[in-house]
Amino acid sequence: MVVARIVKYYFKEGLREEGFAEVNLAVNKRARNTKGFRGYISLFSYDEDNVVTILTMWQDVESFQASEEVFTSDVERFIPFLEKPPEVGYHKVDSITLI
């Protein structure tokens, strides 16, 4: 069963690009090298200029749980860019279709 973490980041005015660059670097360097990482999607909000949502997918519950420590330490590095703490959601992935 694939597990997803969905994180909504609220960046301070004018810091979205710089903050997102840090988030993207963390995903590409640390998460990608964590066992069970299956991929990610970055979503820039049309409605809120300073909001970015990141969806990461994990092979199974064990991989997802092992990634939690990496995720938590990475979020600490993003604090200077954030207006408020990110909103984090956890989901079981029912199906994926990419074409």
**Total structural domains within the chain:** 1
- For residue 97, the tally of other CB atoms under 10 A from its CB is 4
Largest CA distance in the chain: 38
Determine phi and psi for 31, rounding to 5 degrees: -65, -45
Model confidence pLDDT, tens digit, residues 13-63: 999 999 999 988 888 888 888 889 999 999 999 999 999 999 999 999 999
What distance in Å separates the CA atoms of residue 71 and residue 28, rounded to the nearest whole number?
A: 12
Question: What's 33's domain CATH number?
Answer: 3.30.70.100
8 near 86, Cβ under 8 Å? yes
* Residue 72 tokens, joined: 């938590």
pTM: 0.88
Look at residue 50 and tell me if it is in a domain. yes
Q: What is the pLDDT of residue 60?
A: 92
Q: Domain for residue 45, yes or no? A: yes
Q: Are 36 and 2 in contact (CB under 8 A)?
A: no
Per-residue confidence (pLDDT) for residue 27, from 0 to 100: 84
In a domain, 9, yes or no: yes
